[in-house]
A and B are shown apart, each in its own frame.
Chain A
Amino acid sequence: MPNDTLLTRRGLFMKLGILFNGVVAATLAVPIVRFLLSSVTLGRENAYTAWVPLGRVGEFPEGETRLATFRNPFETPTDGKTADAACWVRRIEGEQFQVFAVNCAHLGCPVRWFPPSGLFMCPCHGGAYYRDGSRASGPPERGLFEYPIKIQDGVLTIHAGELPTPGPNAALDPGRPPCA
């Protein structure tokens, strides 16, 4: 029987050495991979979203659409201005509101509201939306993202915290599900 099929002492130690390194690497990999994926796991635990106040109901005139800003509920010390966010508040009448994300449902550029023509227009690729947020024309396949709203003690609050993106179902989704 040739020697190389036998397990030698040195061969065994080398294999044990590889195994030992593999075990150590796998052990260290657990916290490292969890570190790398922490932003995903936090999101799954709903740590990112919260109810955010936008202002008293009276600050938004009936029949008009105004830009409101808020501080993102989840922030880190180095965020600076980037943790601020803007949204379009449409007060239909009384306590009937619609709050839209500024991010175009096509690729996320900030849409602007044009009161005379009653349209939201996007500067990037020419998307346009009606005053109720539904798609009017251009590349978007759906209406604007809409935040869930709640009026608490006369204060308009929205459920926000995540950058609204069209998601995998952009093409299949004609409705306007909440973006937060």
Chain B
Amino acid sequence: MRVIAAIADWVDHRLQLAAPIRDAAEHPVPRNTASWWYVFGSAALIVFCLQLVTGILLAMVYVPSADEAWNSLQALNHQVLFGWFVRALHGWGSNFMVAIVLIHMAQVFLFGAYKYPRELTWIVGVFLLLTTLGMAFTGQIMRFDQDAYWGLGIGASIASRIPFAGPTIVSLMLGGPIIAGATLSRFFTLHVFVVPGTLIGLVCLHLLMVLKLGINEWPMPGRLVKRATYERDYHELTKIDGAPFVPYAVWKDMFFAAFILLAVGGCAWYYGPFGPTGRPDPTIIQTVPKPDYFFLWLYALLSLLPPSLETPALIIGPVVAIVALLLLPFLSGEGEKSWKRRPIAVLTVMLIAITLGTFTHLAGYAPWSPHMNAWSGAPVPDHLLRGTTALQRQGALVFQAKQCRNCHALGNTGGERGPDLDRVAVRLTQDQLIRQVIQGGGNMPAYGKNLSPAETTALVAFLETLHPPNQAPAREAARDLTK
């Protein structure tokens, strides 16, 4: 032991780091911040460290070439011992990191921690969120499969809509005219050098400011932040009534960090790695590309926005959101910190969480996409055909053959793009049905050129049978008058 102490002394005499490290570890914190609410920042850091380690391990096998990347992922999944597990750790780590960063941000917002004098800590935090999302998106590209390929296409299509600079930005992003070798190489550079380098720098800044300015005290309703007095009050809280961070508060961080690592490991072990899905071959078009879960809300939003709003929303939306986050500490840098007296803050967080949650849920089953195989895979339910005439049965055939089923459900199977048609005859009269089929309207294509008069007659005859037995089909009242 004495030898170890001697070596440590020798090293520290030259490095002179022991004292500042001890000071940082034992800096006093307000007693009530030793809370389970204050563990998310350190958990994000620990998951980031896991990402660094597993990322370096993956880079030992991964080949960042459009030709070889997919094969090297297969090798990781199936050849290299525990390659699948390291991939799974990295993938699940990424999911956890995005989630924890968002939770950390919501907690910091609700506890008013962004107020004076921690404005810059919040601003750096906003950039940390952006870099984390940048890592998530570029990481999805590293899994160079069909989802990654078409995801890049979506990214290019969005970027191309930027006024004036659009095409230039697309060329820069793709590194050439198409999504190919150069594209993967530059996204590899971003994912492995540029973004993580920025992330490490920002994390250091963020941590330094937490140490210099002290951790945010537990917000008490009615204790207002004032520029003139805040630092003196905080000094009293920490120096007079405080406790050293190590070991008073740190044990909760450590327990939570271990728990999160265990959860990542458990998910990785149980669920395994993400993909890769099919080979990134642009000639295979039988694919349904979907983003990873943290961008599913965007996928849903892009389907549901009215077409004319899409470009402005895509280009102005992110700018407004980022500017709002950056301006937040300047707009409300003083005053009440406690969420108990900030109802608008609480409602904002709830609204954003519910919105993102709803969009994510919708994207899970994508009701706006046609079910490409419903016309051949889902037969017309028997009970809809019982007691029908030959003409009506012919109509049911037309209904299937013309692939109406891809967008319209019968008996709860089929597409959800259009309304389900189990009761369509209650809503639309014969004339309205004919017009809707031939001219389209709303979101429905016009089928006039694609149906013969006989087919239309049969189809409408079938559609007219689709009403509950106890409810009469819609009819035009004016018709009765002319009889």
Which residues of A pack against B, CB within 8 Å?
36-37, 39-40, 42-43, 48-49, 67, 69, 72, 74-86, 102-103, 106-112, 114, 116-119, 121-126, 128, 130, 136-141, 161-163, 165-168, 170-171
Contact = CB atoms under 8 A, between A and B. Distances in A.
Contacts of A118: 447, 449-450
B402 A117 contact: yes
Contacts of A42: 176
Nearest to B175: A39
| Most chain B C-beta atoms within 10 Å of own C-beta, residue among A121, A130, A171 | A121
Interface string B280-313: 1111011111000000000100110101101100
B352 to A, nearest CB: 23
B424 interface: no
B178 A139 contact: no
B171 A125 contact: no
B444 interface: yes
Query: What is the predominant secondary structure among interface residues of chain A facing chain B?
Result: loop
A137 B444 contact: yes
| Most chain A C-beta atoms within 10 Å of own C-beta, residue among B177, B280, B372, B403 | B177
Interface in B217-246: none
B12 interface: no
A80 B181 contact: yes
A131 to B, nearest CB: 8
B163 A168 contact: yes
A123 to B, nearest CB: 4
B355 interface: no
Contact of B65 (A78, A119, A123, A130): A78
B458 to A, nearest CB: 15
A29 B405 CA distance: 59
Contacts of B159: 165
A161 B179 CA distance: 11
B92 interface: no
Contacts, number: 212
B372 A139 contact: no
A82 B372 contact: no
B181 A78 contact: yes
A37 B443 CA distance: 42
A81 to B, nearest CB: 4
B180 A121 contact: no
A36 B158 CA distance: 22
Contacts of A85: 178, 282-283
Given A107-B158, A168-B163, A80 B177 contact: no
A122 B401 CA distance: 19
A78 B183 CA distance: 11
Contacts of A122: 369
Contact of A112 (B153, B179, B286): B286
A82 B302 contact: no
Contacts of B375: 116-117
Across the A-B interface, give the 7 residue pairs with the lowest CB-CB distance, nearest first: A80-B67, A136-B445, A108-B153, A78-B181, A165-B160, A110-B285, A48-B177
Contact of B310 (A110, A114, A124, A139): A139
Nearest to A162: B177
Contacts of B163: 168
Contacts of A119: 403, 445
Given A77-B181, A81-B281, A112-B285, A40 B172 contact: yes
Contacts of B171: 39-40, 43
Contact of B153 (A36, A80, A109): A109
Contacts of B289: 109, 123-124
Contacts of B185: 78
Contacts of B308: 141, 171
B166 interface: yes
A75 B282 CA distance: 14
A171 B310 CA distance: 9
Contacts of A139: 302-303, 305, 307, 310
Nearest to A87: B283
Given A86-B285, A136-B445, A128 B66 contact: no
